[in-house]
């Protein structure tokens, strides 16, 4: 198990001094649109570097947030993308649940077996 990197209070201070400029760059580069790859459901469990993201179909909805493609302290613009609120929330919860999901292993479907 990895030691926790979730020091929320420190995270803000780890952003680079030119963070605002980087965000501005990303907003312009991505045209203010969500960059989530629609034809790649398994995006989160793969190394994004393996893909040529330009070849992927994007969500294209108006973006809400600048997202770190790979979680961590890499604030390079190459590691930043725009996401709409829906995809950012989805990705954030997926990252937060990744560890739990990995060891849960069982699907708890709330579906009555006799209900057809
Ligand atoms: Zn989206």
Give the CA count within 13 Å in the CB-facing half-sphere of 113: 1
Determine the distance separating the centroid of ligand 1 and the alpha carbon of 98, expressed in angstroms. 20
Mapping DSSP to helix (H, G, I), strand (E, B) and coil, where does residue 30 land?
coil
Domain boundaries, the chain: 17-96
**pTM, 2 dp:** 0.62
Determine the distance separating the centroid of ligand 1 and the alpha carbon of 116, expressed in angstroms. 34
Determine the distance separating the centroid of ligand 1 and the alpha carbon of 57, expressed in angstroms. 11
Q: How far apart are the first and last CA of the chain?
A: 41
Distance of CA 90 to the CA centre of its chain: 8
Determine the distance separating the centroid of ligand 1 and the alpha carbon of 54, expressed in angstroms. 16
Per-residue pLDDT of the chain (116 residues; tens, 9 = 90+): 445 544 444 555 588 999 999 999 999 999 999 998 776 554 554 455 555 555 567 889 999 999 998 888 899 999 999 999 999 998 888 777 775 655 554 444 445 556 55
Mapping DSSP to helix (H, G, I), strand (E, B) and coil, where does residue 37 land?
strand
Determine the distance separating the centroid of ligand 1 and the alpha carbon of 82, expressed in angstroms. 8
Question: Phi and psi at residue 29, in whole multiples of 5°?
Answer: -60, -40
């Amino acid at each position: 198990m990895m030691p926790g990197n979730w020091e929320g209070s420190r995270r803000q201070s780890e952003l680079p001094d030119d963070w605002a400029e980087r965000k501005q760059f990303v907003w312009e580069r991505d045209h203010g649109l969500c960059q989530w790859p629609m034809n790649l459901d398994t995006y989160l469990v793969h190394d994004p570097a393996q893909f040529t993201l330009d070849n992927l179909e994007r969500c294209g909805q108006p973006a809400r947030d600048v997202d770190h493609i790979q979680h961590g302290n890499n604030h390079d613009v190459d590691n930043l993308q725009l996401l709409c609120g829906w995809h950012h929330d989805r990705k954030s919860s997926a990252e937060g649940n990744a560890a739990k999901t990995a060891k849960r292993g069982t699907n708890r479907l709330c579906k009555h077996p006799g209900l057809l």
